[in-house]
Amino acid sequence: MTPVEAVVWDFDGTLASRPDMWCAAIAEAIHLCGGPPEVTAADFEETAYLHLPWHSPTLGHAFQSSSAEWWEGFLSRVQPLVAAVTGEAAMDVKRFGATVRSIILDPRRYSKIPGSTRAVDALHRRGVLQFVLSNHVPELAGIVSYLFPNRFEEVWTSGQLGVEKPRAEAFHHALDRIGRAPATVLMVGDDVRRDLEPAARLGMRTLHVEDMASTRRGDWL
């Protein structure tokens, strides 16, 4: 079997976890901005994620030129939802947006997944090139660097690329940057539709994060 020369990791649910990230961040920001204390993350579970760009992967970003524009575009769509839930249409939008952003970007709120962390360290010791490709905020590289210092060559996020997985453009970008044959590049993720199927269509090798423990280490590590 052709040896693995590079590994591309998904982030959320693969390298790190943060349950109810967006809903919890929105609720916490409401409290910090003086909104109703009875508001909880559960109030947004049915609708908040519909406002995230990667839930419409067929659409490119209209606000991809800077991280500030990404956040402005996202929060402009979330603010009406917040107003409907809290009844606080007059809430300071600028302060609320800055608060949500600071909560999401706090790397201390993410938990590394133990099995993946061990694999990342083992691959690093072997000198295998490692990258991150994620549907995430533009500033994900800072979070990854905090959690996994000096482990990844590059971090690519939909907030910068302007397209989300499973769009083929995201994977083409990764392969172009890596500069290796697809058959020598392994994609590791937790989502078959967004991570593994599109990678396989381009000839990349794939591994579901839940299968790492049961897969022979020689097959990929």
From the number of C-beta atoms within 10 Å of its C-beta (0-12, 13-18, 19+), residue 123 rates as: buried
Q: Residue 60 has what pLDDT?
A: 55
Q: Length of the chain in residues, anyone? A: 221
Q: Which residues fall within 8 angstroms of residue 97, CB to CB, at 6 or more apart?
A: 71, 72, 75, 79
CB atoms within 10 A of CB 43: 20
Strand partners, 156: 133
Q: Are 165 and 198 in contact (CB under 8 A)?
A: yes
Residue whose pair of structure tokens reads 């302060």 in the numeric block: 95
Q: Dihedral of the CA atoms 154, 157, 162, 168 (nearest 10)? A: 80
Residue whose pair of structure tokens reads 């590394």 in the numeric block: 112
Angle between helices 93-104 and 21-32 (to 10 degrees): 140
Q: Residue 57 has what pLDDT?
A: 55
Q: What does the DSSP assignment read for 63-130? A: S-S-HHHHHHHHHHHHHHHHHHHHS-TTS-HHHHHHHHHHHHT-GGG-EE-HHHHHHHHHHHHHT-EE
Strand partners, 59: none
pLDDT of the chain, 221 residues: tens digit per residue:
788 999 999 999 999 999 888 889 999 999 998 888 889 988 887 676 666 665 565 555 555 568 888 888 888 878 888 888 887 655 677 888 899 999 999 999 999 999 999 999 999 999 999 999 999 999 999 999 999 999 999 999 998 888 889 999 999 999 999 999 999 999 999 999 999 999 999 999 999 998 876 655 555 56
What's the CATH architecture for 6-17+111-219? 3-Layer(aba) Sandwich (3.40)
Domain boundaries, the chain: 6-17+111-219, 21-108
Q: Residue 102 has what pLDDT?
A: 96
The pTM is what? 0.90
